[in-house]
Amino acid sequence: MQDNYGNLISSLAETNEKRIAMLVLDGLGDTDNNGKGTALQIAHTPNLDKFAGKAALGLHHPVMAGITPGSGPGHLGLFGYDPLIYQIGRGVLSALGIDFDLKKGDIAARLNFCTLDDDGIIKDRRAGRISTEKNRELVKKIRDNLQIKDVKVFIETESEHRAVLILRGEGLTDEAGDTDPQHTGSKPLDPTRSPYGESKTANIARQIFDQIREILKNEQPANMILSRGFACLPDWPTFGERFQLNPAAVAGYPMYRGMARLMGMKLFSEAKEPANILEDTLIALKDHDFVFAHFKDPDKKGEDGSIEEKVKVIESMDKALPALEKYMPDALIITGDHSTPAPMSAHSWHPVPLMIKTTKLRGPFEKKFDEYTAAKGELGIITAKEIMTLAMAHTGKIKKFGA
Amino acid sequence: MQDNYGNLISSLAETNEKRIAMLVLDGLGDTDNNGKGTALQIAHTPNLDKFAGKAALGLHHPVMAGITPGSGPGHLGLFGYDPLIYQIGRGVLSALGIDFDLKKGDIAARLNFCTLDDDGIIKDRRAGRISTEKNRELVKKIRDNLQIKDVKVFIETESEHRAVLILRGEGLTDEAGDTDPQHTGSKPLDPTRSPYGESKTANIARQIFDQIREILKNEQPANMILSRGFACLPDWPTFGERFQLNPAAVAGYPMYRGMARLMGMKLFSEAKEPANILEDTLIALKDHDFVFAHFKDPDKKGEDGSIEEKVKVIESMDKALPALEKYMPDALIITGDHSTPAPMSAHSWHPVPLMIKTTKLRGPFEKKFDEYTAAKGELGIITAKEIMTLAMAHTGKIKKFGA
């Protein structure tokens, strides 16, 4: 699929000594909590507000208006990759989510432990949501007994009934049928069914699932595994190639390390707490002209539906922010990968507040960072894929387009 | 052309019991009438204003900034189909405009009665704009005398010199040359000219126009017909397929019934007056989870250049609106398909005020619905194709994109 915008940025990007940091407060955006205001409005954030007074403010759609992104598309947008063009297969997302070091040519699929009845009919697609501990025990049993020639097979616990399958070897493709029919009352599907009959991946998948059926036959309730979303690591330009940057990631959670790895970023730190995240960001900026720093907690608290807790974790990041003033990046992006409004306890489509603290600003200058001041800011409502371009512009890293 | 956005929405759409109504006030947007304000600003609209106070406000570009849409592209955008990708052939638009029940495989072309001189040279491409009555009389004469084998031929009066040709039969394509050279002083063109020589449509068109020349030879001034825009009904996903909705249309005028039919919507009512439109919308919502309701008058009055009349018809709709409160849809979209500023007496490119009355709002909440409050609303300026996605998001009908 043609990516005119991405190709343009690639052709205009150039290297200099300036530094860009992108601090992602996961799930930052909020709705109005029945008139109490958004988390950013309620929170006491003197440092964010001070930064906002010297920043370009705006809102961004991670994908497009009305689309609620998962973490994958949300971060792709922030990294300047149009999530409508750069789509990640289900299996690859799962592998990224457990921090598996997926290589080019690997094939990944999402697995679910399930329950079959005596006739081999699916009774429960999630095997009663077995514990993660039981999952590990069963995965070990499968690994100890599975005998597959020619390709290397990885089976990895995700959590509860969820696991991931990775195949590594020559000549593998993503051509294999899901064995999960997505409903109960029928047998698992054959991965080699038409049009997948000739595919090596499908034939190996069939051997694997036939053996797993034998290995688990005396287990209850998890006596079988279903698969879906066979996918290969996409062959995309790396973030470093696209922007002529040498990027590093400070990310404490598997999914975000996975996304950084997918982009070809160096995994620099697994810090999870505000002070550590910012400290490691500053260290990484010595050798890297771009640092992606990820703070998970606002999303977690938003998903818990707790506006009080969401406010608290935003305040904890605010309190740590002055550390950055020791060595302020030339462009500091602070935003989220999507909104997670506490009243919804879920990701949402609402555009996300964004600041780019830098120079060469137009204004107006609002000394407050929230959804409403951002809406009135100089950036307006943009799509996430434009954020990196703006940061590149502000740091002189992008040439004029045309003579 | 690849429709990444449309494909994404299709893949994420899911059905639930929630209801969406889209009330289109045709030509709603306005300019400032030399300082008097826009029609929405001048009009006394307590009900629209009350609704706006509990709605997401914004403006939309039906196609893109600066593009003035006709009714076809204007409505395609509202229905979530990018008008740059989904283009309707001239002949099909004409057939839709007369409410002709076009079937898959049919071919339609726009016809003009014209005047030829004694040498067969076009003197007037519009035959002096004959009356619609005369048009009907000539169409009858053609129908009574035309003898074409193998395909069914429909010739239908549009108005004045305009008519529509529809061919129905096996093996027809849109490959036929326009016979209208688009200027006077030359003969009508041959529809079978290169590269159309082998096409069945072109050869039948040639037979038809040869016979019409004979049938009309003693008529004045309309002694011939010219054709352009041979087109087939496009093979697009229906609105119901795309959004997993069961849609109905309340539309009193042929063009809008035609657009609804093109989208695969059930034609539920031909109401034209506000009270009837809203009453039928409520009835349709019992069995349909989406209702498109069309109100033509603001566009008519705008095209007449009468701001007073445009204000009046908007007020008449406002007055009827409380009827909706009996059974408020879960998402109520109120907008136009384009602007028809009274000072311009024509469609224009100005973005169109939009409200989506629903829950899960961020605000700010303006208790007034006009072009200026909408510009400050939480939606910003979006493209029309995003409106349906937002309504789907607000009613929980669209899954998260990616994990």
- Residue in B with minimal Cα distance to A33: B362
Those residues with Cβ within 8 angstroms of residue A249's Cβ, 6 or more apart along the chain or in another chain: A256, A257, A260, A265, A266, A267, A268, A269, A291, A292, A293, A294
Nearest beta carbon to residue B401 from set A70, A255, A350: A70
Position A165 scores a pLDDT of 97
Nearest beta carbon to residue A67 from set B361, B380, B389: B389
- Residue in A with minimal Cα distance to B3: A84
Predicted confidence band of residue A182 (pLDDT cuts 50, 70, 90): confident
- Residue in A with minimal Cα distance to B5: A84
Of the residues B207, B232, B257, the one at which a domain ends: B232
Position A286 scores a pLDDT of 97
Position B89 scores a pLDDT of 87
Residue B402 lies in a domain: no
Q: Chain A: nearest CA to B66, how far in angstroms? A: 19
- Residues of chain A in contact with residue B382, where contact means CB-CB under 8 angstroms, are 65
Residues A135 and A245 in one domain: no
Helix (H, G, I), strand (E, B) or coil at B316: helix
Of the residues B192, B215, B232, the one at which a domain ends: B232
Q: Are A154 and A136 in contact (CB under 8 A)?
A: no
Q: Chain A: nearest CA to B361, how far in angstroms? A: 6
Predicted confidence band of residue A235 (pLDDT cuts 50, 70, 90): confident
- Residue in A with minimal Cα distance to B380: A381
| Euclidean distance between CA atoms B251 and B240, whole angstroms | 18
Q: Is B160 on the interface with A (CB under 8 A)?
A: no
| Type of residue found at B212 | I
Helix (H, G, I), strand (E, B) or coil at B259: helix
Nearest beta carbon to residue A372 from set B364, B379, B382: B364
The stretch A244-266 carries a mean pLDDT of 95
Q: What percent of chain A has pLDDT over 70?
A: 100
Residues B212 and B254 in one domain: no
Q: Chain B: nearest CA to A174, how far in angstroms? A: 18
Residue B323 lies in a domain: yes
- Residues of chain B in contact with residue A83, where contact means CB-CB under 8 angstroms, are 401-402
Residue A320 lies in a domain: yes
Q: What is the mean pLDDT of each run of 10 residues along chain B (403 residues)?
A: 91 97 98 96 98 97 96 96 93 89 93 96 95 97 96 94 96 95 95 94 97 97 96 92 98 92 95 98 98 97 97 98 95 98 97 96 94 96 97 97 84
CATH of the domain at A224: 3.30.70
Position B235 scores a pLDDT of 86
Position A173 scores a pLDDT of 94
User: What's this model's pTM, rounded to 2 decimal places?
Assistant: 0.89
Helix (H, G, I), strand (E, B) or coil at A77: helix
Q: Chain B: nearest CA to A342, how far in angstroms? A: 11
**Alpha helices (runs of H) in B87-238, residue ranges in sequence order:** 90-97, 132-145, 200-215
Q: What domain range is B135 assigned to? A: 94-232
Residue B401 lies in a domain: no
Residues B45 and B105 in one domain: no
Q: Are A69 and A62 in contact (CB under 8 A)?
A: yes
Q: Do A38 and B362 touch (CB under 8 A)?
A: yes
Q: Chain B: nearest CA to A327, how far in angstroms? A: 35
The stretch A125-149 carries a mean pLDDT of 96
What does the longest C-alpha to C-alpha distance in chain B come to? 73
Q: Is A31 on the interface with B (CB under 8 A)?
A: yes
B380 bridge partner residues: B58
Q: Is A375 on the interface with B (CB under 8 A)?
A: yes
Nearest beta carbon to residue A65 from set B4, B364, B382: B382
Of the residues A217, A232, A247, the one at which a domain ends: A232
Position A93 scores a pLDDT of 87
Residue B400 lies in a domain: no
Residue B190 lies in a domain: yes
Residues A254 and A143 in one domain: no
Instruction: Give, for A124, the enclosing helix (H) or strand (E).
Output: strand A122-124
Helix, strand, coil share (%) of chain B residues, nearest 5 = 35, 20, 45
Q: Is A69 on the interface with B (CB under 8 A)?
A: yes
Q: Is A199 on the interface with B (CB under 8 A)?
A: no
Residues B99 and B112 in one domain: yes
Nearest beta carbon to residue B400 from set A68, A90, A97: A68
CATH of the domain at B44: 3.40.720.10
Those residues with Cβ within 8 angstroms of residue B132's Cβ, 6 or more apart along the chain or in another chain: B157, B159, B160
The stretch A218-230 carries a mean pLDDT of 95
Nearest beta carbon to residue B389 from set A31, A65, A375: A65
Residues A264 and A388 in one domain: yes
Residue B118 lies in a domain: yes
- Residue in A with minimal Cα distance to B382: A65
Q: Is B4 on the interface with A (CB under 8 A)?
A: yes
Q: Do B362 and A31 touch (CB under 8 A)?
A: yes
Average pLDDT, chain A: 96
Residues A227 and A239 in one domain: no
- Residues of chain A in contact with residue B399, where contact means CB-CB under 8 angstroms, are 68
Q: Is B46 on the interface with A (CB under 8 A)?
A: no
Nearest beta carbon to residue B401 from set A67, A94, A371: A67
Residues A384 and A275 in one domain: yes
Q: Is B143 on the interface with A (CB under 8 A)?
A: no
Report CA A79 to chain centroid distance, whole Å. 11
Q: What are phi and psi of B211, to 5 degrees?
A: -70, -40
Residues B146 and B295 in one domain: no
- Residues of chain A in contact with residue B391, where contact means CB-CB under 8 angstroms, are 66
Q: Are B241 and B130 in contact (CB under 8 A)?
A: no
Angle at which helices A387-394 and A4-12 cross, to 10°? 20
Q: Do A31 and B393 touch (CB under 8 A)?
A: no
Best residue in A349, A379, A386 to probe B by mutation, most B CBs within 10 Å?
A: A349
**A282, HSE (Cβ side, Cα atoms, 13 Å):** 14
Tokens 């399930």 correspond to A114
Residue A331 is encoded by which pair of tokens?
């462009």
- Residues of chain B in contact with residue A69, where contact means CB-CB under 8 angstroms, are 400-402
**Alpha helices (runs of H) in B98-131, residue ranges in sequence order:** none
Residues A68 and A81 in one domain: yes
Residue B399 lies in a domain: no
Q: What is the DSSP string of A152-163?
A: EEEEEEEETTEE
| Euclidean distance between CA atoms B207 and B148, whole angstroms | 8
User: How many CB pairs (< 8 A) connect A and B?
Assistant: 91
Residue A298 is encoded by which pair of tokens?
């606002």
For the question of an ipTM over 0.90, the answer is no
Q: Are B377 and B339 in contact (CB under 8 A)?
A: no
Position A317 scores a pLDDT of 98
- Residue in B with minimal Cα distance to A69: B401
Q: What is the pLDDT of residues A309-357, one digit of tens each?
A: 999 999 999 999 999 999 999 999 999 999 999 999 999 999 999 999 9
- DSSP class of A176: -
Q: Chain B: nearest CA to A129, how far in angstroms? A: 19
Residue B232 is encoded by which pair of tokens?
């087939």
Q: Are B109 and B165 in contact (CB under 8 A)?
A: yes
| Type of residue found at B363 | G
Those residues with Cβ within 8 angstroms of residue A358's Cβ, 6 or more apart along the chain or in another chain: A55, A56, A330, A331, A332, A391, A394, A395
Report CA B153 to chain centroid distance, whole Å. 24
Total of domains in chain B: 2
Residues A227 and A259 in one domain: no
Q: Is A381 on the interface with B (CB under 8 A)?
A: yes
| Euclidean distance between CA atoms A17 and B267, whole angstroms | 63
| Type of residue found at A181 | P
**A381, HSE (Cβ side, Cα atoms, 13 Å):** 22
Q: Is A77 a residue whose pLDDT tops 90? A: yes
Residues A322 and A200 in one domain: no
Residue B36 is encoded by which pair of tokens?
């008097």
